Structure 1
Amino acid sequence: MTDPSDSDASPLFEAKAFDEPSVFDPDALLKNARRQKDLPERSVPDVCVLDPDGDVVRQLAATGAARKDETWPGYHTDLYRFERDGEEFGIVGCAVGASFAVLVAEQLFAAGCEFLVSVTSSGRIVPKDDPPYFVLIERALRDEGTSHHYRSAGRYAVLDDNLRASVEDACESVSRPVYAGATWTTDAPFRETETAIERARSEGILAVEMEAAALYAFAAVRDRPVVCFAHVTNQMGQTEEDFEKGDADGTRDALEVIEAAAAAWRASN
């Protein structure tokens, strides 16, 4: 018998059994976290936000516009609640990268979330404008590992067509430009080589980020509504003024696109 440890094949594409349920699930994690921390069961807001950079969370908390939810049972994160025009949102900061973003997404939906928006900083590939601006991510190149645990098929993970159309229409009213297009999701930002960038450019990819492909694969398999935006803020550190987001570290602009997406989702429901 061949020893599997002698194989050169990557285990990333082995033994996935996509139709088989996971032994470990988010409900079990939340249940045990509540038990260990002696927390009451409380649903998160219908609309939740992933803020990988943490700038929006920090700005809202610093101005008193957001409050920490002491009943959130996530082991690795803090959930904050804030209101905009009478609607409550939940937001989790610093969930960077595909695996962490989906870990938190699973927990949020298990805790009562009905719609998830992710807004992440991104590096420009094919120019659409001078940074900063936003990309409504229609599809994301699956150059990461997490999406491959949820489904096998497809070079890209894609946004639901109906959700894309309604969110795209809603974003026409926001102040900062929002372009619909493709991104490249990578697990290794410091391995963005010229060869890899040229491949992405040849496919018309607008920006590189670290979460969207996994979130869209999760959304498709779990039948959950998720919308991802790339906040294009830099050219991968190649200019002196890279990574500038604008007023309040881009919070005002990010909240505009979040509200637009939430309004589109609520209108469709």
Structure 2
Amino acid sequence: MILEEFDKNQSAVLNAFDIIKPVEGFPKIAVSCFARFTFDRLLNELGAVQITSIYTANMENPVYKANYRGIEVALFMSSVGAPACVGAIEELFAMGTEKLILFGTCGVLDASISECSVIIPDRAMRDEGTSFHYAPSSDEIAVNPKYIDLFTDILDKHGCKYHTGKVWTTDAVYRETRDKVNMRKEQGCICVDMECSAVAALAQFREKEIFHFFYAADNLDAEEWDARSLSNETNPLEKDKIATLAMELAVAIMDVESNV
């Protein structure tokens, strides 16, 4: 199959660094999410200022900088879907960041996982196309190899419920059939998203640190699909807490790295 034609060459005909130049003083760590409402509230809370933009394909995506508990953090909103998400992260790395914390919603495949609970993927099923350009063909890929314990310590301190497990990453949100959902559950998946396996492959290929986690939104583990808290405007305070957890992890990571 064509997706088995992995080329390990680090250099492509067009590379992000061919069109994106390093930004002087760019923060070494970045935080990003997919929800406009949550992202705008985070920008306002931190008094973030725009420092540059990402120009992935047909849109401008502003990149901001903020100071949080003594560290500088780059902030940008990720695009939904593996190709656009990975392309933007490539440009972010070209600008100068070294580490990324990425968070967003996922659909749950286990109805017992409550709304807005944190889910930390440790493996991802590669039911998308982008990852196969960054890693050899396989059904699954490891996710978050480095900072899970650091993040769970933060979650425990804040009294946050969380689950760790395998995510099903798919490109086709309207092709999550009942048979596929049941099959993925049997294969051990507890949730579904559209970017994780591709982001994990990018991190592995570029040798960068990306920590990717979710908060539970819609429920696919029912006779009929249940949107629950999928809407951006639903449970805003709970989602603000999720954003704060991401910022706290950024501080913890930079503290650990400064002591290495």
Distance 1:160 1:62, change over 3 A: closer
For 1:162, what is the secondary structure of its paired residue?
coil
Correspondence 1:47-196 to 2 at 5 A: 47-63=29-45, 65-69=47-51, 71-72=52-53, 74-75=55-56, 76-196=60-180
Aligned match of 2:193 in 209, 213, 217?
A: 209
CA drift of 1:51 comes to 1.1
Distance 1:248 1:42, change over 3 A: farther
Residues 136-189 of structure 1 deviation map (CA, whole Å, 9 limit, x = unaligned): 111111111110001114321212533333333333223432222111111111
TM-score by length of 2: 0.85
Distance 1:22 1:206, change over 3 A: same
Stretches of structure 2 lacking an aligned partner (at least 5 in a row) = none
Aligned counterparts of 1:74 and 1:140: Cα–Cα separation in 2: 28
Structure showing greater radius of gyration is 1
The answer (yes or no) to whether the contact 2:61–2:76 under 8 Å persists in 1 is yes
Q: How many residues align?
A: 249
Residues 3-33 of structure 1 deviation map (CA, whole Å, 9 limit, x = unaligned): xxxxxx5x4434x4223521211111214xx
Aligned counterparts of 2:127 and 2:191: Cα–Cα separation in 1: 13
Distance 1:130 1:186, change over 3 A: same
Distance 1:182 1:128, change over 3 A: farther
Which one is further off, 76-85 or 224-233? Answer: 76-85
**AA in 2 matched with 1:259:** M
Report runs of 4+ in structure 1 exceeding 4 Å deviation.
Answer: none
Aligned match of 1:263 in 239, 251, 254?
A: 251
Report what 1:234 is aligned to: 218
* Cα RMSD for the two superposed structures: 2.4
Stretches of structure 1 lacking an aligned partner (at least 5 in a row) = 1-8, 32-39
**AA in 2 matched with 1:45:** P
For 2:146, what is the secondary structure of its paired residue?
helix
Residues 190-228 of structure 1 deviation map (CA, whole Å, 9 limit, x = unaligned): 111101111111122111111110111111111110111
Aligned counterparts of 2:99 and 2:23: Cα–Cα separation in 1: 20
CA drift of 1:73 comes to 5.1
**Correspondence 1:22 to 2:7:** no
